[in-house]
Each structure stands twice: as structure tokens, then as C-alpha cells.
Amino acid sequence: MVTLEVYDAETEKWISVASKPYNDQLDFDLNFGMLLSPNVIGTLGYRLKSQSGAILANELKGPEIKAHFRNATNKEVPYKNLCNYAVDVRTTESMPINIYIKKEDGTWDFYKQSQNSSNDPNKWVTLTWTNMPWFSNVEFVAKPLMRS
């Protein structure tokens, strides 16, 4: 029997997520959102262990989760037909946080307002966008800066 363990960067613990008998190949289907702490941020890792507990494959790195969102809100501005949006965000580096809106045809479109997040992965920051048009579907998206 071979066990797949995933490193949860938030709790700094290895979590056994699946076991299978070993034949000629191993494949595991995983949903990280269901396996790890709800606020995980940082670089995950994987390793394989035998039934006896021996490590069969050294740790493999990835993916890196650079941003996490919670408590998204939208509040109507009285008498103005406008809305204030807010979201708590925590990121591993300072990066633009953008709002995307869902259009009537079902596609998503960038709404040209962004704010920069903090670069402290231990700190939740509330970002707000005020006096904006009301949209029925809004998504907040982190855009990590490209490195050369």
C-alpha cells in the first residue's frame, strides 16, 4: 500500500490524503479545497510513503497558493443606485486585486479598478471599492506580478 501525503503550508503538517495498492502506476485525484485548512496559503508539497512509513519519493513542491479571499460583501449605497464592495485578502506578496463582473452573455469581464494587497501572509487586509455600479455577479481575482 502506498500513501500520498500533502503538505499543508498553513498548518505546517503533512496530511495523509489517499492510499492505494501499488501496481505499475499510481494516480490520485484530489480536491485541495476539501483536503487542506480553509485558509491555506504558501507552497504545498507532496510525498509518497509505504505502509511501513518509509518515504518512497522525496517531497515534490507545488502548487504555490499566493492569495486567499474571505468575507466578500456588497452593500447598496442608499438613494444612489450604487454599491460598495469589500473583501478580506491575504497574500504572499503585494499584488493587484481586481474585480471581474459577469456580463449578461455569461462571460467574465475585467472591471477597471484594482487595489494592491499587503505582502504579509499572516495579515488579513480588507479592500473596499466604493460608489461603483451594482453588478449581480462579482469575482475578486489576485494578479501576481510577473518576474523576469
10-31 pLDDT tens trace: 788 888 888 888 777 777 776 6
Counting as low any pLDDT under 70, the low residues of the chain are 30-39, 112-113, 144-148
Of 65, 81, 115, which closes a domain? Answer: 65
Range of the domain at 109: 67-142
Using the 3D structure, point to which of 37, 65, 93 is the last residue of a domain: 65
Q: Are residues 134 and 120 in the same domain?
A: yes
Whether a cis peptide bond, with omega within 30° of 0, leads into 63 is yes
The answer to whether residues 102 and 115 belong to one domain is: yes
Beta strands in the chain (DSSP E): 2-8, 13-20, 42-50, 55-65, 67-77, 82-91, 96-102, 108-116, 125-133, 138-142
On whether both 76 and 60 belong to a single domain, the answer is no
pLDDT of residue 74: 92
Give this prediction's pTM. 0.70
